[in-house]
Structure 1
Amino acid sequence: MFKWRSDRKQAEEHKSHSLNVDELKKQLEEELASCSDISFRTIKKDGKKILTSFLSSLIDKSSLDEFILQSLQTNFSKSMTVEEVAQILPIAQLSASNQLKEIVESIIEGSVYIYVEGEPCGLLANVSKTAERSLEKAETEALVYGPKISFTESLPINVNILRSNVKDANLCFEDIEVSTRVKARIKIVYIKDIADPSNVETFRQRISNLKVDYLPDTTVLGQLIENNSWSVFPQLMTTELPDRISIGLLSGKVAVLMDRSPAALYGPTPFFTFFESTEDIYMRWNMAFFLRMLRLSAIFLSVLLTPAYVSVLTYHYEVIPSPLLVSLGQSRANVPFPPVFEALLLEFIIEMLREAGARLPTKVGQTMGIVGGIVIGQAAVDAGFTSNILIIIIALSALGSFTTPSYLMGTAIRIIRFPIIIAAGFWGGIGIMVAFCFFMIHLLKLDSLGRPYLSPAYPLRISDLGYSMFRYPLKYLSKRPVTNQPIDNDRFPFKKAKEKKDVDE
Structure 2
Amino acid sequence: MFNNEIFKQAIKSVDFLQFRPVDESKPLQISYYRCLVDTEKVNQYLLPGIQENIDSLRRLSDIKGLIPFEDVTVIADTAEVVGKLTKGYVIIQFEGDDLHYLLVDVNHASMGHRKSNETENEFSVIGPKVGFVENIEVNIHLLRQQINTPALILEQITVGSLSNTKVLIAYIDGVTNSRHIETMRQRLQAINFDVVFDSSQLTQIITDHTNTPFPLLVTTERVDRVIFSILSGQVAVLSEGSPYAVTAPSTLLDFFISAEDYYLPWILASFFRVIRIVGVLFSIIASPLYVSVLTYHFEVIPESLLQPLIYSRIHVPFPPVIEVIFLEVTIELLREAGARLPSKIGQTLGIVGGIVIGQASVQAAFTSNILLIIVALSALASFTTPIFNMANTIRLLRFPFILLAALWGGLGIAVGCMLLLGHLLRLKSLGTPYLAPLFPFRKGHFADSLVRLSYRHTSNRKGFLKPLSKKRYTPDKENLEHD
TM-score by length of 1: 0.92
Counterparts of 1:201 and 1:254, CA distance in 2? 10
1:48 Cα shift?
A: 4.5
Q: Tell me the distance in 1 between the aligned counterparts of 2:266 and 2:449.
A: 13
Matched, 1:143 2:104: no
- The equivalent residue for 2:92 is 114
1:52 aligns to what? Answer: 30
CA–CA distance in 2 between the matches of 1:98 and 1:31? 19
Q: Is the 8 A contact 1:95 1:123 kept in 2?
A: yes
In structure 2, the partner of 1:89 is: 67
Q: Is the 8 A contact 1:43 1:49 kept in 2?
A: no
Relative distance call for 1:453 and 1:170 in structure 2 (3 A) is same
Secondary structure at the counterpart of residue 141 of structure 2: helix
CA distance in 2 between partners of 1:95 and 1:135 (Å): 34
Q: Deviations over 1:17-61 (max 9, x none)?
A: xxx22xx24x24422143111111214589551111011111111
Which of the numbers 404, 413, 422 marks the counterpart of 1:441? 422
Picking from 205, 216, 220, the partner of 2:186 is 205
Match of 1:31 in 2: 9
**How many angstroms does 1:376 deviate by?**
0.4
- Paired residues, number: 480
The answer to whether the 8 A contact 2:57-2:63 is kept is no
Distance in 1 separating the partners of 2:21 and 2:305: 90
Structure 1 stretches lacking a partner, 5+ long: 1-19
Matches within 5 A, 1:39-438: 39-43=17-21, 48-77=26-55, 80-119=58-97, 120-129=99-108, 130-438=111-419
Match of 1:469 among 450, 455, 473: 450
Q: Aligned ranges for residues 446-465 of structure 1 at < 5 Å?
A: 446-465=427-446
User: Would you say the 8 A contact 1:444–1:453 is kept in 2?
Assistant: yes
Identity of aligned residues (%): 39
Checking the alignment, whether the CA contact within 8 Å between 1:281 and 1:288 is kept in structure 2 is yes
* Shift of residue 451, structure 1, vs aligned partner: 0.5
Q: Distance in 2 between matches of 1:375 and 1:327?
A: 23
- Between 372-381 and 86-95, report the one with greater CA deviation: 86-95
Contact 2:165 2:239 in 1 (8 A): yes
SS of residue paired to 2:52: helix
Q: Is the 8 A contact 2:136 2:241 kept in 1?
A: yes
User: Hey, what does 1:487 align to over in structure 2?
Assistant: 468
Q: 1:89 to 1:476 in 2, by over 3 A?
A: same
Distance 1:77 1:257 in 2: 46
Instruction: Kindly indicate whether the alpha-carbon contact (under 8 Å) linking 2:20 and 2:26 is maintained by their aligned counterparts in 1.
Output: no
- Give the Cα–Cα distance (whole angstroms) in 2 for the partners of residues 126 and 55 of structure 1: 12
For the residues of structure 1 that align with 2:35 and 2:17, how far apart are their CA atoms?
Answer: 10
Consecutive unaligned residues in structure 2, runs of 5 or more: none
Question: 2: CA distance between counterparts of 1:62 and 1:410?
Answer: 46
- 8 A contact 1:45–1:77 mirrored in 2: no
Task: Provide the aligned C-alpha RMSD in A.
Answer: 1.5
What is the distance in 1 between the residues matched to 2:154 and 2:117? Answer: 24
Could you tell me whether the CA contact under 8 Å between 1:152 and 1:262 is conserved in 2?
A: yes
- Tell me which residue corresponds to 2:477: 498
Distance in 1 separating the partners of 2:433 and 2:459: 23
Of stretches 72-81 and 347-356 in structure 1, the one that deviates more from structure 2 is: 72-81
Partners of 1:359 and 1:55 lie apart in 2 by: 35
